[in-house]
């Protein structure tokens, strides 16, 4: 507040240097991430209907309620920074549409109260709250977490589960997972048939290569899966938006996905009874919660390393862990488990990376 | 002419210099009241030689250097000493200041300038003149220049760099000085080269001052000065001594408290020239008056002791009510409670922020984004140092590199949570029993 | 909190760890608590007597055997002796449990013998040191046992209600009807640690509030 100044009788602000700031702000960050998730969420709701709306709404409401419960009685009002809304949204998007509503409620509650607030609130949690909540849900309601809602086309079997059982049973089926699914009778959409028919006929025909049936469905997101994780294009668009705005950094998702893809390609074959270097990398990248986890959960600044080198290491570790968990693990969602484990590794990574970067002080100047 | 980049230097602040490039330096009006602090340098305050009621002349010695790192203080206007009160300087330190009311005739201004030849002077004589004129490092170090330029007989310094890069964003006083007084600066470089027995002279300028290269090359040729010109990349803290040095000779910055050569600011060089060739003590300097609240921002040549409020009047007054007035630059300057603060030798700029530019900022919790780590030019981890200081472990913070912090402000600039990192780190340095100066 | 109080609560929490992990039903907790209390009480009664006997016995042995229990090592020696005693009592409890509730005994498995070396047993001994009248020792043991039991049963109650939707007390199995779909993660070891963490936090909070209140009263 100041009077129009003629020689300065105004009350001047006395704040410390620096007096100019970079544009980014913590408050805006969480809301930006929320905005970038909305397209993928809308797609999921369009595919899975009212059930998806209920799950996400409950997750969101529980997160907000939990945050309010743990801050308002202590006279702190933190709902404006958007992090509770973001956590509730991500929890909802990780879950299948058919879960009983206890699951998103309990997962969100656990995420906010136990993982975030008990450890000190924003910035002090060592595990991504949404990841913690979803992991809690996975361990507590194992069966419920596999209640996928069928699509209009009748597809009811989730891609990854079908893949594992079919690959185990039908090793003799040549080709990748899509061929296996086809042989197992998984119904792909009509759009898939027509688009692929056109591509295979006109574009790739002279190369004598053909995209397998179902490729279009998988890429465009017409598959069964977690609410927010099915549409690869929309997730990538949201991620591109965040990368362009500088909200997230590219080192973690690129390292994560690259390492995972290489491992899936090179070692995925032997893991499912086929030869080396026959693993299916693209399919694995597009299925399940990998893209959602890599771009939106692994990049959470609070639980990721501080230095660039550290981030490369973290992404690599996550890639390796996800490969192991997906091919050899028994918990429903390998990505979530590996994210939780990766979060636990971050302090170690920080010490290692920053120890190398910080100036060494053999002389203690006095 | 080469441009060298440093992998870890600083941040890129928005380029909103409001002063049109190339605009001539205007002379500010002589103040009717000058408040001249006796502490305008690193060391102990100068000893006051005058009393209220004394008459002083322009350029007269009113404060004698008293102790190591102390410097002489001169009166910038002729007149009557009214009082010697204790005032608070920007940044919080207190100092006695001589308040002079204008009166009587000028000895210098308006009189013809007499240039004295200096080539025949010995090094000791040169240093003596520089010391007598009370010249200190005007790029921010405020260390008496004669100490910096003194070398043991027989020893030489490898490199002498003239630093023409403005130390803060939005300030362009050094740039304007280089355009206006190129010849004098070149001459001063010769003097320093002789004093330091330098093997190599370099002029460092910023990326956005490319057009100066041609004119300086011409002047160096005419004067027979063998001097290289190096272009320094424009990342804040661009004008910092060590980073400039690293840009010039290519080796990574070893920290602010070591030096492989001498870096001297061009404003200091100009003052050296005036002291040696014109026998003129430090009584005025060029600074930038800028900010969103100022009607016509520009560079001014100002008498030491002028009140900051008068400077704004020279620039057309306030176009908007000022919300914050900062003495210094936007990254490192100190906010002052009123415009009745005097200009000192170290004042490179005055910024009046409008309300839109200077809103009070709320601090959020640290989200460990790592921006501060990427921003720090010295490779420190400000987030961790801040946490240690907050927990009362300042000594441990020192072990982890707090001593190398130059309070440049890059970390706080980059922090999305508005955490006052510089304040915290400064307190940490004090708490660990060591006050650091750049 | 005073250092002693903090130390005691730290010992308490640490000793609860294995017991809490093992007890997924309330009945488990009750049996584990009973075991610990029994061993503690027995130790507290027998140990001072044994110590007195040992002291009396060590003086004349100088001449007979040519070696005395060294003064510095007397504490260590008494610790070995105490360990022996606690193993004996634990074995007694295990056998009794086997006879009374064999299903429970096999369910708790190795955790019952582990009572012998549980932190609580060892911690209490260390805290009591080599001095203390039998009565004081007994009172301390009772207090520790009560705290242990209370916390263990409370944590296990939460775990079972939220994690399995039931409350099991012996043959009578009560089911909490409103939990159709309980959070089974709490039945895992991790869930035990989470509940234990909150219990420890509550303990510390209570301790701090108590200390603050005591300070208030003193003023």
Tens digits of residue pLDDT in A326-359: 888 777 788 999 999 999 999 999 888 877 544 4
Which one is predicted more confidently, A108 or B219?
Answer: A108
Q: Are A215 and A117 found together in one domain? A: no
Residue A178 lies in a domain: yes
Q: Which of A100, A118, A136 sits opposite C185 (nearest CB)?
A: A136
Structurally, chain A folds into a number of domains equal to: 3
Q: Which of C185, C187, C190, C198 to mutate to test the interface with A (most CBs of A within 10 A)?
A: C185
Q: Are A188 and A139 found together in one domain? A: no
> Would you say residue B3 has pLDDT above 80?
no
In the prediction, which pLDDT does C66 show? 43
Q: Are A133 and A165 found together in one domain? A: no
Q: Rounded to whole angstroms, how far apart are CA atoms C183 and A106? A: 8
Q: In the listed set A123, A146, A169, which residue is the last one of a domain according to the structure?
A: A146
Task: Please name the chains neighbouring C, where neighbouring means 3+ C-beta pairs under 8 angstroms.
Answer: A
Secondary structure of residue A253 in the 3-state scheme: helix
Q: Are A288 and A190 found together in one domain? A: no
* Percent of the residues in chain B that have a pLDDT greater than 90, as a whole number: 14
* Strand ranges across the sheet with B227-232: B227-232, B200-206, B159-163, B262-265
Contact C181 A100 (CB under 8 A): yes
In the prediction, which pLDDT does C67 show? 44
* Percent of the residues in chain B that have a pLDDT greater than 70, as a whole number: 91
What digits encode the pLDDT tens for the residues B153-206? Answer: 666 667 788 888 878 888 888 888 888 888 888 888 888 888 887 778 888 888
Please state the three-class secondary structure of B273-307 as a single string: HHHHHCCCCCCEEEEEEECCCECCCEEEEEECCCE
Contact C185 A139 (CB under 8 A): yes
Average pLDDT on A28-57 reads 90
What digits encode the pLDDT tens for the residues B278-311? Answer: 888 989 999 999 988 888 888 999 999 999 999 9
> Would you say residue A298 has pLDDT above 90?
yes
Q: Are A265 and A162 found together in one domain? A: no
In the prediction, which pLDDT does C60 show? 47
Secondary structure of residue B55 in the 3-state scheme: strand
Q: Are A89 and A183 found together in one domain? A: no
Q: In the listed set A176, A206, A221, which residue is the last one of a domain according to the structure?
A: A221
- 8 Å CB contact between B373 and A306: yes
Q: Are A102 and A167 found together in one domain? A: no
Any chain B CB within 8 A of the CB of A121? yes
Closest chain C C-alpha to A273 CA, distance in angstroms: 33
In the prediction, which pLDDT does C55 show? 63
Domain housing A276: 248-355
Closest chain A C-alpha to B420 CA, distance in angstroms: 7
What digits encode the pLDDT tens for the residues B63-103? Answer: 898 888 888 999 998 999 999 999 988 888 889 999 999 98
What is the pTM for the complete model shown? 0.80
What digits encode the pLDDT tens for the residues A92-148? Answer: 999 988 888 889 999 999 999 999 999 988 888 899 999 999 999 988 888 777 777
Q: Are A140 and A163 found together in one domain? A: no
- Which residues pair with residue B204 across a beta bridge? B163, B230
Residue A163 pLDDT level (bands cut at 50, 70, 90): low
Q: Are A337 and A317 found together in one domain? A: yes
- Which residues pair with residue B74 across a beta bridge? B61
Nearest to C149 by CA among C68, C65, C18, C30: C30
ipTM of the complex: 0.79
Give the best-scoring range by mean pLDDT among B12-21, B391-400, C131-140: B391-400
A with B: how many residue pairs have Cβ under 8 Å apart? 165
Cβ neighbours, 10 Å, residue A184: 16
Q: Are A99 and A169 found together in one domain? A: no
B123-277 is classed in which CATH architecture? 3-Layer(aba) Sandwich (3.40)
Q: In the listed set A146, A164, A186, which residue is the last one of a domain according to the structure?
A: A146
- 8 Å CB contact between C40 and C141: yes
Q: Which of A103, A105, A140 to mutate to test the interface with C (most CBs of C within 10 A)?
A: A140
Rg (CA), chain C: 20
The two tokens of residue B63 are 């404060």
> Would you say residue A238 has pLDDT above 70?
yes
- 8 Å CB contact between B318 and A5: yes
Domain range annotation of chain B? 123-277, 371-431
In DSSP notation, B167-226 reads SSTT--HHHHHHHHSHHHHHHHHHHHHHHHT-SEEEEEEEGGGTTHHHHHHHHHHHHT--
Q: Are A31 and A132 found together in one domain? A: yes
Q: Are A261 and A279 found together in one domain? A: yes
């Amino acid at each position: 507040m100041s009077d129009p100044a003629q020689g300065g009788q105004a009350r001047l602000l006395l704040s410390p240097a620096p007096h100019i700031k970079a544009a980014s702000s913590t408050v805006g960050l969480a809301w930006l991430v929320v905005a970038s998730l909305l397209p993928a969420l809308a797609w999921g709701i369009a595919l899975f209907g009212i059930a998806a709306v209920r799950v996400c709404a409950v997750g969101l409401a529980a997160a907000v309620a939990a945050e309010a419960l743990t801050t308002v009685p202590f006279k702190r009002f933190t709902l404006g920074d958007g992090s509770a809304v973001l956590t509730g949204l991500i929890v909802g998007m990780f879950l299948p549409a058919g879960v009983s509503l206890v699951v998103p409620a309990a997962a969100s509650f656990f995420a906010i109260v136990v993982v975030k607030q008990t450890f000190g609130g924003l910035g002090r949690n060592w595990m991504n709250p949404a990841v913690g909540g979803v992991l809690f849900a996975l361990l507590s309601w194992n069966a419920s977490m596999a209640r996928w809602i069928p699509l209009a086309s009748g597809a009811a079997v989730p891609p990854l589960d079908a893949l594992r059982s079919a690959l185990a049973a039908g090793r003799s089926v040549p080709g990748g997972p899509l061929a296996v699914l086809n042989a197992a009778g998984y119904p792909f959409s009509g759009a898939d048939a027509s688009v692929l028919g056109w591509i295979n006929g006109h574009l790739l025909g002279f190369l004598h290569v053909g995209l397998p049936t179902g490729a279009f469905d998988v890429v465009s997101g017409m598959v069964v899966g977690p609410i927010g994780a099915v549409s690869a294009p929309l997730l990538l668009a949201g991620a591109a938006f965040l990368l362009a705005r500088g909200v997230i950094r590219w080192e973690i998702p690129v390292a994560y996905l690259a390492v995972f893809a290489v491992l899936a390609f090179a070692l995925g074959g032997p893991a499912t009874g086929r030869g080396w270097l026959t693993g299916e990398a693209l399919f694995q990248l597009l299925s399940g919660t990998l893209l959602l986890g890599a771009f939106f959960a692994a990049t959470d600044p609070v639980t990721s390393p501080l230095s660039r080198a550290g981030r490369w290491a973290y992404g690599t570790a996550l890639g390796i862990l996800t490969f192991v968990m997906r091919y050899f693990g028994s918990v429903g969602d390998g990505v979530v488990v590996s994210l939780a484990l990766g979060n636990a590794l971050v302090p170690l990574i920080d010490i290692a990376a920053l120890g190398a970067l910080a100036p060494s002080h053999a002389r203690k100047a006095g | 002419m080469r441009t060298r980049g440093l992998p870890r230097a600083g941040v890129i602040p928005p380029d909103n210099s409001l002063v049109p490039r190339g605009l001539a330096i205007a002379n500010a009006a002589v103040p009717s009241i000058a408040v001249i602090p006796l502490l305008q340098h690193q060391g102990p305050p100068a000893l006051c030689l005058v009393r209220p009621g004394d008459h002083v002349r322009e350029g007269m010695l009113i404060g004698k250097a008293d102790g190591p790192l102390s410097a002489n203080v001169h009166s910038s206007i002729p007149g009557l000493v009214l009082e010697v009160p204790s005032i608070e300087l920007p940044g919080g330190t207190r100092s006695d200041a001589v308040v002079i009311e204008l009166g009587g005739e000028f000895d210098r201004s308006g009189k013809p300038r007499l240039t004295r030849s200096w080539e025949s002077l010995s090094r000791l004589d040169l240093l003596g003149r520089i010391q007598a004129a009370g010249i200190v490092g005007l790029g921010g170090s405020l260390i008496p220049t004669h100490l910096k330029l003194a070398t043991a007989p027989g020893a030489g310094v490898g490199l002498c760099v003239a630093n023409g890069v403005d130390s803060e964003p939005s300030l362009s006083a050094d740039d304007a000085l280089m355009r206006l007084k190129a010849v004098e600066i070149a001459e001063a470089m010769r003097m320093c080269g002789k004093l330091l027995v330098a093997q190599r002279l370099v002029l460092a300028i910023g990326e956005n001052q490319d057009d100066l290269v041609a004119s300086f090359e011409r002047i160096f040729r005419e004067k027979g000065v063998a001097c290289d010109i190096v272009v320094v990349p424009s990342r804040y803290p661009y004008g910092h001594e060590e980073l400039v040095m690293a840009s010039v000779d290519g080796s990574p910055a070893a920290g602010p408290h070591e030096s492989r050569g001498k870096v001297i600011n061009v404003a200091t060089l100009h003052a050296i020239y005036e002291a040696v060739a014109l026998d003129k003590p430090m009584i005025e300097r060029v600074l930038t008056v800028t900010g969103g609240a100022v009607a016509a921002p520009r560079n001014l040549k100002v008498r030491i002791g002028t009140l900051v409020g008068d400077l704004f009047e020279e620039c057309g007054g306030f176009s908007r009510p000022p919300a914050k007035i900062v003495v210094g630059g936007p990254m490192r300057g100190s906010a002052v409670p009123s415009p009745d603060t005097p200009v000192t030798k170290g004042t490179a700029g005055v910024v009046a922020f409008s309300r839109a530019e200077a809103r009070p900022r709320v601090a959020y919790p640290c989200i460990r984004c790592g921006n501060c780590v990427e921003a720090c030019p010295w490779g420190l981890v400000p987030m961790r140092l801040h946490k240690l200081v907050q927990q009362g472990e300042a000594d441990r913070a020192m072990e982890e590199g707090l001593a190398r912090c130059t309070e440049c402000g890059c970390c706080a600039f980059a922090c999305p949570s508005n955490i006052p990192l510089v304040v915290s780190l400064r307190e940490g340095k004090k708490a660990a029993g060591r006050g650091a100066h750049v | 909190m005073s250092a002693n109080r903090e130390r005691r609560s730290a010992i308490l929490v640490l000793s609860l760890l294995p017991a809490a992990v093992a007890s997924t039903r309330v009945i488990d907790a009750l049996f584990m608590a009973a075991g610990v209390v029994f061993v503690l009480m027995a130790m507290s009664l027998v140990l001072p007597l044994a110590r007195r006997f040992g002291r009396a016995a060590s003086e004349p042995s100088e001449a007979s055997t040519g070696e005395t229990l060294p003064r510095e090592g007397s504490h260590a020696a008494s610790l070995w002796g105490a360990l022996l005693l606690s193993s004996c009592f634990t074995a007694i409890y295990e056998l009794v449990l086997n006879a009374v509730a064999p299903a429970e005994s096999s369910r708790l498995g190795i955790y019952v013998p582990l009572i012998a070396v549980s932190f609580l047993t060892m911690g209490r001994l260390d805290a009591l040191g080599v001095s203390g009248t039998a009565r004081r020792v007994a009172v301390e043991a009772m207090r520790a046992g009560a705290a242990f039991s209370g916390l263990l049963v409370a944590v296990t109650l939460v775990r079972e209600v939220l994690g399995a939707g039931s409350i099991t007390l012996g043959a009578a199995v009560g089911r909490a009807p409103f939990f159709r779909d309980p959070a089974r993660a709490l039945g895992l070891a991790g869930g035990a640690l989470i509940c234990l963490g909150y219990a420890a936090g509550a303990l510390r909070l209570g301790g701090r509030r108590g200390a603050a209140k005591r300070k208030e009263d003193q003023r």
